[in-house]
Every structure is written in structure tokens, then in C-alpha cells.
């Protein structure tokens, strides 16, 4: 137990280079053998993380530098996965805040920094990508100082050390300047700054045991594995412990089986873990996030971890379409409910409850991305289900209805500014700040109801021709701002069950854009395209050409159809209205009306009216 320990979390806005930086720290600390072939972003080991290039789950690894064991937590950048960040910060004694040298602090930088400062953690600011054209390190450092000041940082936190680095090229330096001798050839400047400025955890190894579980893992061999930092005392295999849910919650006894710690990306068994160690514990079946493992003779439980409440909710229901059960393995309401209960054990920011309707569950989370990643995981596991339009979570404050307001930052080219400002204005957004960068781009900051952002990302990409960057973060609850207009176009609805024919698509081509291709199966009430007008239109998508003995030669036989819109899970969830559903199966995503028969839809709209 003589080795020195440091625990740090790497926090930043999405795409500012956290996972790439962790790659370099692992490589340069000798974690990988020289002959080992290492993939890039080695920490993003989940298939969806690799496809999208984002971090979803907080991950642990550890490196050794000059005899000091440094536990590193790579955290997500999206505010939707804030539950992961809040958990990770409860295990560390310092944070490395990465900021892109060109973009500067962004909304999610603000979100994670606010959490870290509130916990009293002292940040180390790393200006990353300083070798990028257009880098402006001085602006970034000043902006970081202003941000810390706004978030109520203490004098000690405002006196932060700065490291300049290029994560992708693997070097760091304490001085700003050209790439000359003063730049460190490797990451040693960052390592030394961590050793100097991050305090070692102060805890008595002889005191009663105190370890709070901050993450849950699962193994088919040993069952549930709890991950947490030993706050005080010494943890050993075979120990009897008391598991306490907060300071006044229920308690039960358990026995620790194995104790492991992190070494590089691997987990190694140890004979004991002392104060400051991030340890993995197995053998306790009902272990959960936030519980404290403590000494049964002298219990000292810690308060349960607090996570911000969800702001968005969606209804998950059984798939009732005529094509249900063809592709999925798990299709019943019991199977969907059990899967959601399993998700709750490790996903802290999620809430699930049953509704009055049979087979419909209300699932609440931090944002669209948070919920669609869960849906994507479920469909890959073989689940079939239908989901409704996302709704925001309202609150009653002094008898008045309050709604969540988001802080939005949009980085766009100046010639797209008018269209974006008009669109955000229509969605009840208030302009807070406008900052041109002098290079043809402008940064807009808005405060806008969360309702107004549902379905906005596709429109934003169209308005900025794909060159804009937008990010948003929950700000506060405020009084309801009034109605916001919905989708401007109606939809094309199939009137029959069957298979789509090229001939039918050719006839419908001038009616709007389609979601379906020739030979796709369709059913009555399924949405096959976007209508070019604002009303819904029932169409015959299974129509075939009447064949006769009469033949003509001519070009009119060649049917030209516009390529269909690629339906993704995110697009579908953003596109639908209240009376529509997204049908999700392992192989297909379809849109449909809640009521498939036309007379049922008419009756429902009369009753609603």
C-alpha cells in the first residue's frame, strides 16, 4: 500500500479529444507492449460508441508514471449522459478539463465544469489541438477563467494550471509557442502537472471501511460487480461488510468475494485496497449504485449519489403493427418491462413507470440522445417495440406550469445566420449572445424551451447546408412560454396491406418525398412519405399496372422515382407528431399512425377537437 495514488476524471465538451488524449496517456505510460496492435480510441469499446465516434459510458483505466498509480476516468461529453459524469466525479480528487484551442468553452464544457467545481475539485485546464489552424489559446484561457468565475469558482479553483497539448500527435508543454524545443516531445508535461496539482486521497487505512459504489458492471462468471473508491479503511477479499443505502436507508450484510483494481485497461486481483484506490468488488448479489460498503461493527454510510432529474419522457409500448413479431425475439410487454428494469440498475439518470394503458411504459431521461441510444441497444438485442413522440417533463411551481429551458449554442457561417435566427425565434427562443469570430462564422447563444428543440436538428442541418454545429444543455425551469408550431408538412399514409411496387411510387413521386423503396412491405395506416402540402393524404402504395395486350413503344414506360429519405431512429423520433408512432424492430424502422384505420383516426380527431 506504499504506492502513491491519484484519481482524475477527463471532462470536456463532445469532440474536444478526451478519448484520444486517454489513448496517448495509455500508450506513453508503457501500458501497451511495443508489439501490441492498438486500435484508436481504445476506451470506446461499445459498438455504438465506435460507429458514432462518441463516448456514452464513463470508463476506467489506470497508468503508472514515475511510481505513481494514476486512475483515469474517461467521461462522456454529451449532457444527455450527465448521469455518467456525475457518477464518475464522485470517485476522483481532481479533473483535467480539455478545451479545443479553436472552439473554446462550449455548453457541455459548462455543464461538466459546474458539477466538478460544486464538488470542490480543482481543475487542470488542457488547451488541446493547439497545432490546429485557427487555434487561439489566449482566448480559450481567458474564456475558461470567465466561465469558472461565472460558475462561482473559489480563489483556489480560479488559480488553475494550464497545459498546452496535441492529443492526436501526443505531445504537451507548459509554455505556449511554436513547435520548437520548448514543446515537450511527449505527455510528460501533463503527467507532471497531474502529480503536482491533484491531491492524493487522504484517508486512514486503519479506520472502519467506507466505499461508495459509483458504477455497476456485470460478468457472467461472478455476477454483479461494484466499482467505487475506497474512502477510508482497507478492503480485503472474504471480508464481511454492511451494505447501506444512504445514511438512513435499508441495510443488509454481504461478503466480498474478489477485490480487483485497474492496471492499464485490465483488471487485476489484489489482496487489499486502501484509501484512494478505485476498486472492483464482486460477490454481493444486490449491490446497486450509490450504496456504501462499510464495517458492520462500526457502520459509516455515505449519503446516496444525487443525479439531476430527467427532462424528457417517451412512451415505450408493445409493437402492435400487422408486421409485428417477424424480426424480433422479444416482443411481449413483460420482456420489455424486464429489459427496462435491468437498464435502471446501471443507468442512473433513467426513470421508468407503468401507465394506465396496458403494455405502455413511460420512460424518462436526460434528452433525445439518452433515450434513442437505449432504443438502439434494445433493437440490436432483438427487441421489437413502438415509441411515441418525446414530451418534456413539466413541473408545477406555486400553482403555475413551468417547463425546462435549454441553453443552445450554434456555430454557423454568417450567410446562414438569418434562417437559423428565424427558425429559433419561431420556436420561442431568446437570443442571449451573438459573437462573430472574424473569419466568416458567428456563434449564437439562445435560451429556448426544450419543446422547441424536439425535431430541430434535421432542420438545422438543412438550414446550414451541413456546416453548422449546435449543442444544447439544460439551464433551468421557467414559466410555460406558449404554443410552438409543429411539423409544417402532412404525411402520406398507405391505404392497404401489401408490397410496394415501382409503378405506385412513380405515380406518387409528385406528391412528396417517400420513406419506402420498391418491394418493401407496407400495411394500412403506415406512413410511407412526407406530403408536399400541410394535410395528411391516404394513398395507394400497392397499386400495380393493369396489363393489356395493347403495346406501345415509347419512353413513357420508364418510371423515374426520387431516392427515398433514409429513415434513422433519431430522424423518426424527431419527425413524428402526437398521433404517430415509430415502430422499431431489429432490422427495420417504420413510421405509422397510432390508429391504423381511417375511420378510427377521424373519430379520435373529433374527440380531441
| 3-state SS track over 379-403 | HHCCECEEECCCEECCEEECCEEEE
Residue 178 is predicted with a pLDDT of: 44
At 530, which helix (H) or strand (E)? strand 526-531
**Intrachain domains 395-479 and 491-576+589-608 with the same fold:** no
Q: What is the CATH number of domain 4-197?
A: 3.40.50.300
What are the angstrom distances between the C-alpha of 272 and each of 200, 202, 275, 583?
18, 17, 10, 50
pLDDT averaged per 10 residues, the chain (length 609): 76 76 78 50 57 66 85 73 73 88 78 84 89 84 90 89 85 67 69 88 85 80 84 88 82 87 84 87 82 87 79 92 91 93 82 91 88 91 94 89 89 90 91 84 90 85 86 85 84 92 86 90 94 91 76 62 87 90 94 92 87
Q: Give the DSSP per-residue string, 569-589.
A: HHHHHHH--TTEEEEE-SS-E
**Residue 429 grid coordinates:** 427562443
Spatial CA neighbour of 416 closest among 453, 442, 390: 442
Taking residue 607's Cβ as centre, other Cβ atoms within 10 Å add up to: 7
Find the helix or strand (DSSP H, E) in which 410 lies.
strand 400-413
Which residues carry a binding-site annotation for GTP? Answer: 15-20, 128-131
pLDDT of residue 525: 93
Would you list which residues are annotated within the binding site? 15-20, 128-131
φ, ψ for residue 312 (rounded to 5)? Answer: -135, 145
Q: Return the CATH number of 395-479, one of 3.40.50.720, 3.30.1360.120, 3.40.50.2300, 3.30.70.240.
A: 3.30.70.240
Distance, in Å, from the CA atom of 495 to the CA atom of 485, rounded to the nearest integer, reads 28
Dihedral sign from CA coordinates of 499, 504, 505, 509 = negative
Place of cell 488541446: 128
Cα 419 to Cα 416, 461, 470: the distances in Å are: 6, 11, 14
Q: How does DSSP classify residue 287?
A: -
Q: What's the grid cell of residue 492? A: 402520406
Q: Name the CATH superfamily for 210-294.
A: Translation factors (2.40.30.10)
CATH superfamily of 491-576+589-608: bipa protein (2.40.50.250)
* Residue 411, C-alpha cell as written in the block: 456555430
* 3-class secondary structure, 47: helix
Q: What is the pLDDT of residue 44?
A: 54
What is the domain partition of the chain in residue ranges?
A: 4-197, 210-294, 395-479, 491-576+589-608
> What pLDDT is recorded for position 449?
92
Amino acid at each position: 500500500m506504499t504506492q502513491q495514488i491519484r484519481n482524475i476524471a477527463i471532462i470536456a465538451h463532445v469532440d474536444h479529444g478526451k478519448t484520444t488524449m486517454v489513448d496517448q496517456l495509455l500508450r506513453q505510460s508503457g501500458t501497451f507492449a511495443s508489439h501490441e496492435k492498438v486500435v484508436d480510441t481504445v476506451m470506446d469499446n461499445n459498438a455504438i460508441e465506435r460507429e458514432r465516434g462518441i463516448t456514452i459510458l464513463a470508463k476506467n483505466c489506470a497508468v503508472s508514471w514515475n511510481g505513481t498509480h494514476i486512475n483515469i476516468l474517461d467521461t462522456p461529453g454529451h449532457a444527455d449522459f450527465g448521469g455518467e459524469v456525475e457518477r464518475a466525479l464522485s470517485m476522483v480528487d481532481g479533473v483535467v478539463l480539455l478545451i479545443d484551442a479553436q472552439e473554446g468553452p462550449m455548453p457541455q464544457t459548462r455543464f461538466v465544469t459546474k458539477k466538478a467545481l460544486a464538488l470542490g475539485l480543482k481543475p487542470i485546464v488542457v488547451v488541446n489541438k493547439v497545432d490546429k489552424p485557427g487555434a487561439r489559446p489566449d482566448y480559450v484561457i481567458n474564456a475558461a477563467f470567465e466561465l469558472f468565475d461565472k460558475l462561482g469558482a473559489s480563489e483556489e479553483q480560479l488559480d488553475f494550471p494550464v497545459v498546452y497539448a496535441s492529443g492526436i500527435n501526443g505531445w504537451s508543454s507548459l509554455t505556449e509557442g511554436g513547435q520548437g524545443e520548448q514543446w515537450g516531445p511527449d505527455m510528460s508535461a501533463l503527467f507532471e502537472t497531474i502529480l503536482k496539482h491533484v491531491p492524493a486521497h487522504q484517508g486512514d487505512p486503519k479506520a472502519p471501511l467506507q466505499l461508495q459504489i459509483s458504477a455497476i458492471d456485470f460478468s457472467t462468471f461472478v455476477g454483479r460487480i461494484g466499482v467505487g473508491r475506497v474512502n477510508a479503511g482497507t478492503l480485503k477479499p472474504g471480508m464481511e461488510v454492511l451494505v447501506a443505502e444512504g445514511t438512513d436507508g435499508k441495510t443488509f450484510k454481504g461478503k466480498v468475494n474478489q477485490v480487483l483494481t485497474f492496471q492499464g485497461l485490465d483488471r487485476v486481483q489484489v489482496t487489499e485496497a486502501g484509501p484512494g484506490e478505485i476498486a472492483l468488488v464482486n460477490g454481493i448479489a444486490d449491490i446497486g449504485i450509490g450504496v456504501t460498503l462499510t464495517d458492520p461493527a462500526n457502520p459509516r454510510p455515505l449519503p446516496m449519489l444525487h443525479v439531476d432529474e430527467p427532462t424528457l419522457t417517451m412512451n415505450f409500448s408493445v409493437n402492435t403493427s400487422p408486421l409485428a413479431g417477424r424480426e424480433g425475439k422479444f416482443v411481449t410487454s413483460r420482456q420489455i418491462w424486464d429489459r427496462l428494469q435491468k437498464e435502471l440498475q446501471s443507468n442512473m439518470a433513467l426513470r421508468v413507470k407503468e401507465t394506465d394503458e396496458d403494455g405502455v411504459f413511460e420512460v424518462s431521461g436526460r434528452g433525445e440522445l439518452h433515450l434513442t441510444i437505449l432504443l438502439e441497444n434494445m433493437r440490436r438485442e432483438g427487441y421489437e417495440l413502438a415509441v411515441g413522440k418525446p414530451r418534456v417533463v413539466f413541473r408545477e411551481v406555486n400553482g403555475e406550469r413551468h417547463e425546462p429551458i435549454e441553453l443552445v449554442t450554434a456555430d454557423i457561417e454568417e450567410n446562414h445566420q438569418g434562417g437559423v435566427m428565424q427558425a429559433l425565434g419561431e420556436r420561442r427562443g431568446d437570443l442571449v449572445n451573438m459573437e462573430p469570430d472574424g473569419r466568416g462564422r458567428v456563434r449564437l447563444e439562445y435560451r429556448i424551451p426544450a419543446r422547441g428543440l424536439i425535431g430541430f436538428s434535421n432542420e438545422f442541418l438543412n438550414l446550414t447546408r451541413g456546416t453548422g454545429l449546435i449543442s444544447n444543455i439544460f439551464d433551468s425551469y421557467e414559466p410555460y412560454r406558449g404554443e410552438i408550431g409543429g411539423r409544417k408538412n402532412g404525411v402520406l399514409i398507405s391505404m392497404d396491406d401489401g408490397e410496394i411496387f415501382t409503378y405506385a411510387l412513380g405515380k406518387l413521386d409528385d406528391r412528396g418525398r417517400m420513406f419506402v423503396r420498391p418491394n418493401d412491405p407496407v400495411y394500412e395506416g403506415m406512413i410511407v412519405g412526407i406530403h408536399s402540402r400541410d394535410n395528411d393524404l391516404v394513398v395507394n402504395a400497392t397499386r400495380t399496372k393493369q396489363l393489356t395486350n395493347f403495346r406501345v413503344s415509347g419512353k413513357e414506360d420508364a418510371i423515374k422515382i426520387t431516392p427515398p429519405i433514409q429513415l434513422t431512429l433519431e430522424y423518426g423520433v424527431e419527425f413524428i407528431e402526437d398521433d404517430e408512432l415509430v415502430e422499431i424492430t431489429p432490422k427495420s424502422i417504420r413510421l405509422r399512425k397510432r390508429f391504423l384505420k381511417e375511420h378510427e383516426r377521424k373519430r379520435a380527431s373529433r374527440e380531441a377537437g
